[in-house]
Structures are given as structure tokens and as C-alpha cells.
Structure 1
Amino acid sequence: MSEGKRKFQGDDKKRKKKYRSDGTPIWGKRHVEGPGVWVSCVKGKEKQTVGEIYELFESVAAELWAKSEDKGVASHDSDAENEDANLSLEDQIANEISAMKRPRTHPEQRFANCQTNTPCVVFISCKPPVNPVDLVVKCIRNIEETGVTRTRYVHRLVPVSGTCVANLPEIQSLCQRVFGDFFDQHPDTKFKYKIELRVRNHTTIDRSTLIQHVAQSVPEGHTVDLENPKLFILVEVFKSICGISIVEDYYRLHKFNVMEIANGSKKPDAVAESRVGPATGKEEAGKGKTT
């Protein structure tokens, strides 16, 4: 009896409500941590997709967010070279041997793969200063300009500025944070917006209720426009996770579908080179379709 009571009290402590630094409560746990990017891909090629996305994102992020530590290393190497120039040959050789024995330091990884345990779906978490929206838009615009996807298995990229457990209190809290970060940068602009909701493997909250709660979190003065919106509020619900972001040109950029962007470019030869291959491309792409 006493053991059962102690066990219950222990469980009760584990259920104790947790709070963020801003005072909002945390209503659940999750394995997918945002901000990040949802990636839909060819079925059975999830592992390969993660590898090619790492390479693509690291390349684009290096252009957008040059790391300060990289600059520091370059400066240090330059100073070391200047010092070596004034040393004797024996001292220079001794310094090189010492440098070879010194443990190498690796810069912190910008991206991390979060397990989704679902075919055709990958989630890549992004660490500061990487902004998922800027990252995806840059990738898409590069494809639009060159016609080269630089990926073989990726279908679509969906950035999320933040994620939360898919329940109404957490979603409202996430909306307030994401919307605040965006609209505070445009205090004198009134936007027309549309909510783009995509729900997969989730039945707890119905679509109309979710859209209503997201719309209620948009600051006053901004209006809904289903025909010609300036902004698109992307709401991605996958299982027990909800992700939200704000983007522009979403329809013009084919909802960030990389192959549609490549096929619509003016460089058909480059598009052909970026595909999986003439013999297997169509077959594998068909396997990766999701609803």
C-alpha cells in the first residue's frame, strides 16, 4: 500500500506543470524540436534524403550565416603564418608537428535530424542563427534561377519557425511567439494573409477549430484574403506536432515543391541533370507520394 502511494506521488511529481522563461506553460513532450524544416521525400530513401539535405543546407547556410568562429580561425592561421615566417626551419617544423598533435575542434553543427518514424517524412532541426524560412526560400530561389535541385529524393520543403505539441493551448502560445517576431518587424504595415493548413496522421483537433484559433492569434489590423494574400501562414500538423511559419510568394513558388520549381525553370538541360535518372526517376517519385 505504502509502495503504491509512493509510486503515485512520484508520478505526480513527474506530471508537475513546467513553464517557459516567458511564463507560458508547457503542455507536453515532443521528439521533434523546432525551428526546422519538414522534408517530404521518396519512400524508402529517407536516410539518403537526410544526407543530401545536410549537404545542401550547410552549403546555403554558409552563404547566409558566415560563422564568426570561421573568421576567427582564418585570422589565427594568418597570424601563425606571419610568426612562422620569422622562425628558423627547425622551429617551423617543430610548430607543424605540434599543430598536428593538437586535437582538432569542430564547429557546432547547424542541423540535426529528428526521428519521425514515418515513411517519406524527414524533419531537420535548425540551430541559431539559422532561420528556416530564409534557408528554404534561398534554396527554392536558387533552384528557380538555375533549374538544378541539388537533391535526388526531395519532393517538398516546408519551413517552421517553431514547433509545439499539437494541442490548442500550446498552439496559441506558439502563434503568439511566431507572429510577434514577424509583425513586430513591420509595425506600420497591414497585411492580407491566408492560413495554409496541412494535417497528417492527426485526428484530435478538427481543421475548422484549428484555423479559427490560429486566426484569433493574428494581431489586429491584418485581414484574411483568400484570393490575393501577401502573407501565407503555414500550419503543419504531423501526428502530435504542430509547426508554424510565415512566408511570402508561397503559390508563385509552387508551395516550395523543388521538382515543380525545377520543371518550371528556363533551363531544361539543367533540370534533366538534377533528376534521379531517366530509368528510375518516375518510378521512385511515384512511390513517394503522400496525402
Structure 2
Amino acid sequence: MAENSLKRKPDNNNHERAQKKKRLEGGSRRFIDGPGVWITCVKGKERQTVGEIYDLFDSVASEIWPVEGEDEDGAAGSDGEELSLEAQIAKEVSEIKKPRSEQRFANCLTDTQCVVFMSCKPPVDPVELVMKYIQNIQETGVTRTRHTQRLVPVSDTCTATIPDIKALCLKLFEKFFSKEKDTKFKYKIELRIRNHTTLTRPIVIQHIASWVPEGHTVSLDNPDIFILVEIFKSICGVSIVRDYYKLSKFNVLEVANATRKQQSESVAE
């Protein structure tokens, strides 16, 4: 009777290690698929970056898009009652064996040093996800990562050809600009091309600018919004963001250093 009354304390560390191992070894894709986030990192630390990004994105996404039935300690049922030993074991096994399709993030192999791509599954919005994290760094000065350097969200991806880029841009532009029909934006196109030789910067920028709806103007010095375009090998990703320069082009270390500097200056005063 005494044994049956004992409650098993959940081994959260073992559970977290099992989840991380599963994601690193079995959660990768051989192709880049968006929506997602481009991550640059310290050379030689790509694997560690993938691990810390999984943990970071899971944490931030849980704040914005909480999963139904998700609990904080994993030891209680949906009604708040303490689970029995057998139920806790079954819950942990179920979490470890969760199908990959239920995961919100997947590492897409880039086969390139210093570059990681993490795809995001709906309802996760890569732009909102990155902005939430960067703004948190701006407030606290804490990065919560060791090897990650810069994050670039892309709302979707396509093959890096002019017709496909046009179709993607028109879709994203319609969604963004239709929300604020009476607002005329000043915009700037921020283009980065890596491991790609077919399309040139002037051609891509010229085409994208021609697809922006009428009434919105280019501003290189003081734009309201930024159209981020990332071309990597045969893939192109696009997103529209605000405060890109203000937030140090989403460089997590620079944002953290700026905040800590302001904090130290405030204390000195």
C-alpha cells in the first residue's frame, strides 16, 4: 500500500535531454522549407546553435501561441491533479515519441558553415517570433543563447527564380499592405545573397521594387518598413519587418550589448 501511495517525481532533466536528442538526430530536413528563420552563428558551433535555437523558439512560441493542454511542470493532469507513477511515465513516453509533424520547428540542413535555417509550423509567425525575442533582449540585455549571432525571419520561401519570387512577393505584399490601406509606407529592400550566382542584386531589387503597390516610396535613410530578402543557393525567402535598423539588424549580441551599456550608464548617473 505504501508503494502505491508514493508519487514519482518527474525527471525533467532526462525528459529535456531525450527531447533535445530526438530533435537533433531525427528532426532535421534535407531541404530548406519556409516559413522560417535564418540564423547565423559562430563557426564550428552549428550543431550547438540548433540545440539552443530549438529551446529558445519553443519557449518564446509557448508564450505567444500556447499549446492546448500544455502545463508548466509536466506532472499534473488537465484538471490539476497529481498524476500517478504510471501516468507520469506514460506522459513522458508519449512526449518523447511525439510525431515529428506535431513539432513546431524543424532544422533544415544547409550544409554551410555559420548558417542555420529553422522552419516554423503554423500558427508560429517567424516575424512575430523573432520580434518578440529581440524586444525581450532590448528590455533585459539577456540573449538566452551562446552561439547565435543574427536572426532573419522569412514569412515564406520559394525557388530563387524571378517568376517564383514575384508570386511570393505579391502574396506577402497583398497580405501586409491590405491591413493598412490608408497608410503610405517608406520602405527599403534589404537583400542578402549567399552561395548563389544566377541572380544579381540590381536585378532582384529592381524587380521587387516594381511589385510594391503604388503609393509607397523608397527611402534609403529613414524607411518605415524593411523588405528582407534572403537568397541562399536555390532558395529565396522574403519578409516585411519594422525597426530593423533600430534593433541592430536583429543581431542579438549587438542588441544585448547596447542594452547593457544603457543600463550601466543609468547606474553611473
- TM superposition score category, shorter chain reference: 0.7 to 0.9
Q: State whether residues 146 and 267 of structure 1, in contact with CA within 8 Å, keep that contact through their aligned partners in structure 2.
A: no
Q: Which residue of 2 aligns with 1:147?
A: 141
Name the SS of the counterpart of 1:234 in structure 2.
Answer: strand
TM-score by length of 2: 0.77
Tell me how far apart the structure 1 counterparts of residues 238 and 202 of structure 2 sit (CA, whole Å).
16
Q: State whether residues 32 and 114 of structure 1, in contact with CA within 8 Å, keep that contact through their aligned partners in structure 2.
A: yes
Tell me how far apart the structure 2 counterparts of residues 183 and 105 of structure 1 sit (CA, whole Å).
43
Query: Does the C-alpha gap of structure 1 residues 98 and 41 become closer, same or farther in structure 2, counting only changes over 3 Å?
Result: closer
Q: Which residue of 2 aligns with 1:258?
A: 252
Query: Does the C-alpha gap of structure 1 residues 69 and 182 become closer, same or farther in structure 2, counting only changes over 3 Å?
Result: farther
**What is the letter of the counterpart of residue 222 of structure 1?**
H
Shift of residue 110, structure 1, vs aligned partner: 1.0
Tell me how far apart the structure 2 counterparts of residues 47 and 213 of structure 1 sit (CA, whole Å).
36
Is 1:59 the counterpart of 2:53? The answer is: no
Tell me how far apart the structure 2 counterparts of residues 133 and 251 of structure 1 sit (CA, whole Å).
15
Runs of 5+ consecutive residues of structure 1 not aligned to the other structure: 1-29, 85-94, 271-291
Structure (1 or 2) with the larger CA radius of gyration: 1
Tell me how far apart the structure 2 counterparts of residues 96 and 109 of structure 1 sit (CA, whole Å).
26
Identity %: 61
Is 1:99 the counterpart of 2:93? The answer is: no
Shift of residue 266, structure 1, vs aligned partner: 3.2
Q: What does the per-residue CA deviation read over 1:76-129, in whole Å, with 9 as the maximum and x for residues that have no partner?
A: 935484xx9xxxxxxxxxx94663575654362111000000000000000111
Q: State whether residues 133 and 159 of structure 1, in contact with CA within 8 Å, keep that contact through their aligned partners in structure 2.
A: yes
Q: Which residue of 2 aligns with 1:171?
A: 165
TM-score by length of 1: 0.72
Is 1:196 the counterpart of 2:190? The answer is: yes
Name the SS of the counterpart of 1:184 in structure 2.
Answer: helix
Shift of residue 263, structure 1, vs aligned partner: 1.2
Q: State whether residues 160 and 236 of structure 2, in contact with CA within 8 Å, keep that contact through their aligned partners in structure 1.
A: yes
Runs of 5+ consecutive residues of structure 2 not aligned to the other structure: 1-29, 265-269
Is 1:185 the counterpart of 2:173? The answer is: no
The equivalent position to 1:216 in structure 2, one of 197, 210, 218, is: 210
Q: State whether residues 69 and 78 of structure 2, in contact with CA within 8 Å, keep that contact through their aligned partners in structure 1.
A: no
Q: What does the per-residue CA deviation read over 1:201-257, in whole Å, with 9 as the maximum and x for residues that have no partner?
A: 111011111011111221122111112110000011111111100000101111001
Q: Which residue of 2 aligns with 1:132?
A: 126
**What is the letter of the counterpart of residue 55 of structure 1?**
D
**What is the letter of the counterpart of residue 87 of structure 2?**
A
The number of equivalent residue pairs is: 226
Tell me how far apart the structure 1 counterparts of residues 78 and 49 of structure 2 sit (CA, whole Å).
38
Name the SS of the counterpart of 2:180 in structure 1.
Answer: coil
Shift of residue 147, structure 1, vs aligned partner: 1.0
Matches within 5 A, 1:1-291: 31-70=31-70, 77-79=77-79, 81=81, 96=84, 99=87, 102=90, 104-106=93-95, 108-266=102-260
Tell me how far apart the structure 2 counterparts of residues 96 and 263 of structure 1 sit (CA, whole Å).
47
RMSD: 2.4
